[in-house]
Amino acid sequence: MVKPGDEPRFVSQIYNEAQRMIALVEDIIKLSHLDEGAQDMTYEDVEVLPFCQSIVDRLQAKADKSKVTLSLQGDATSLHVIPQLFESIIYNLCDNGIKYNKENGKVDITVKDELDFVTISIQDTGIGIPREDHQRIFERFYRVDKSHSKEIGGTGLGLAITRSAVTMHHGTIQVASKEGEGTTFTVRIPLSYIP
């Protein structure tokens, strides 16, 4: 039905739309699994710095493409976590730090051992988040810049998954941001949880 010359463009559009659908379905499955309590997922001890380093390595190509520098530093410490969920937390926050940054920007990941808990902060030099949106960004599908969300990509579920995964670990997540200057997300996970 299409002219031969138009084929590559249509094929690539179909491919991109299919990828968006797959990402959306995967995120919805993840969230409903969390909503149900993720009972089947098991806790393991992870070394926080090497764990974060492997996520940084996976995001390196994306960061290079956006001319953003990733760096990881802090205390060598371990945490008892559900690795798949802990991965979602760090990955989503670093991914946002890259996506909502500026050319020649930075994303710094800092791990701190604070005796009873571990703090992981992800600080970027990006576009920042208006004060009135700080609470709303954790809602499902909420996006600050609705007009450009399609070209930026993603499902708008990243922070909803992140917050739910943090809560599952009895932790907290906080955001501090200044428009035009950058954003810091701080995740605190207790070493042990006594109900």
- Under the rule (CB under 6 A), what is the footprint of ligand ATP? 92, 96-97, 99-100, 124, 126-129, 137, 142-145, 149, 154-160, 183
Task: Choose among ligand ATP, Mg ion, none what residue 90 binds, the Cβ cut-off being 5 to 8 Å by kind.
Answer: none
Dihedral angle, C-alpha 180, 184, 185, 188, nearest 10 °: -160
Rounded to the nearest whole angstrom, what is the least distance from the CB of residue 6 to ligand ATP in the complex?
Answer: 29
Choice between 155 and 164, CB closer to ligand ATP: 155
Asked if 88 touches Mg ion (CB under 5 A), the answer is no
Q: Is 33 exposed, middle or buried (0-12, 13-18, 19+ CB in 10 A)?
A: middle
Whole-angstrom distance, CA of residue 165 vs CA of residue 85: 6
Choice between 100 and 117, CB closer to Mg ion: 100
Rounded to the nearest whole angstrom, what is the least distance from the CB of residue 6 to Mg ion in the complex?
Answer: 33
Task: Choose among Mg ion, ligand ATP, none what residue 190 binds, the Cβ cut-off being 5 to 8 Å by kind.
Answer: none
Choice between 137 and 166, CB closer to ligand ATP: 137
Among 46, 72, 96, 101, binds Mg ion (CB under 5 A): 96
Task: Choose among Mg ion, ligand ATP, none what residue 144 binds, the Cβ cut-off being 5 to 8 Å by kind.
Answer: ligand ATP
Q: Give the Å distances, CA to CA, from 4 to 8, 16, 72, 107, 115.
A: 8, 20, 48, 44, 64
- Cβ(190)–Cβ(117) below 8 Å: yes
Asked if 128 touches Mg ion (CB under 5 A), the answer is no
Helix (H, G, I), strand (E, B), or coil: what is residue 29? helix
Q: Compute the radius of gyration of the chain from its Cα atoms.
A: 18
Rounded to the nearest whole angstrom, what is the least distance from the CB of residue 82 to Mg ion in the complex?
Answer: 20
- Cβ(166)–Cβ(35) below 8 Å: no
- Name the residues that contact Mg ion, by CB under 5 A: 96, 158
